[in-house]
């Protein structure tokens, strides 16, 4: 075989080997970049316990007896240990057992040992004695070790009036 032909074949083989080596290096890198694990979603956690609530009507000298404002003062126990302070606006109707309320409440204390604050938004309606209630954690309201908290709260009232909560939440 002429030397010139051997050199051409050698150059061809070397180029093919270089291309193969490049593929062997680039493909795993591309795969690694495209197969990065998806961001881990936070687990939904639960906190439960009883709470005591004191509702104090505020004397706003309203001419409408169906509209009212109340101060909220709560003591949380169980997984939440602390206080809730807030304001509630109420509206009654001419139909007994129907009405609505909205409230903003700031919790200060600990949640399973993590200290801080967060704000709860209440929205409640009563239609002929059938209640509907939504209580949500205000986005970005968490402070301290509760920064980033999200979630919602269910309030239960047992026969006899004892209150309890179930807080469904996530923390970063």
Closest C-alpha among 56, 39, 158 to residue 103 = 56
The whole-number pLDDT of residue 76 equals: 98
Closest C-alpha among 52, 47, 36, 118 to residue 79 = 47
Per-residue confidence at 15, pLDDT binned at 50, 70, 90? very low
Structural domain boundaries in the chain: 1-36, 45-170
Looking at the whole model, is its pTM more than 0.95?
no
Three-state DSSP at 85 gives strand
Model confidence pLDDT, tens digit, residues 29-88: 444 445 555 556 679 999 999 999 999 999 887 888 899 999 999 999 999 999 999 999
> What are the residues whose beta carbons fall under 8 Å from the beta carbon of 115, sequence distance 6 or more?
109, 144, 145, 146
Provide the H-helix boundaries in the chain.
Answer: 3-34
Over range 7-27, report the average pLDDT: 40
Whether the pLDDT of residue 23 is over 80: the answer is no
CATH number of the domain at 45-170, out of 1.20.120.1200, 3.40.47.10, 3.30.365.10, 2.40.350.10? Answer: 2.40.350.10
Model confidence pLDDT, tens digit, residues 137-170: 999 999 999 999 999 999 999 999 999 999 999 9
How many Å apart are CA 93 and CA 13, to the nearest integer?
90
């Amino acid at each position: 075989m002429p030397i010139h032909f051997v050199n051409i074949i050698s150059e061809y083989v070397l180029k093919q080997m270089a291309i193969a080596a490049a593929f062997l290096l680039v493909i795993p890198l591309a795969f690694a970049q495209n197969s990065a694990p998806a961001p881990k979603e936070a687990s939904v956690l639960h906190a439960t316990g009883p709470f005591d609530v004191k509702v104090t009507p505020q004397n706003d000298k309203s001419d409408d007896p169906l509209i009212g404002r109340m101060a909220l003062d709560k003591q949380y126990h169980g997984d939440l240990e602390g206080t809730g302070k807030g304001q509630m606006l109420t509206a009654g109707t001419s139909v007994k057992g129907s009405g609505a309320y909205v409230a903003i409440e700031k919790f200060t204390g600990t949640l399973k040992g993590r200290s801080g604050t967060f704000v709860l938004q209440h929205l409640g309606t009563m239609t002929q004695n059938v209640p509907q209630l939504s209580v949500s954690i205000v986005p970005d309201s968490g402070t301290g070790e509760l920064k980033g908290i999200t979630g919602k709260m269910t309030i239960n009232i047992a026969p006899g009036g004892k209150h309890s909560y179930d807080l469904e939440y996530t923390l970063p």
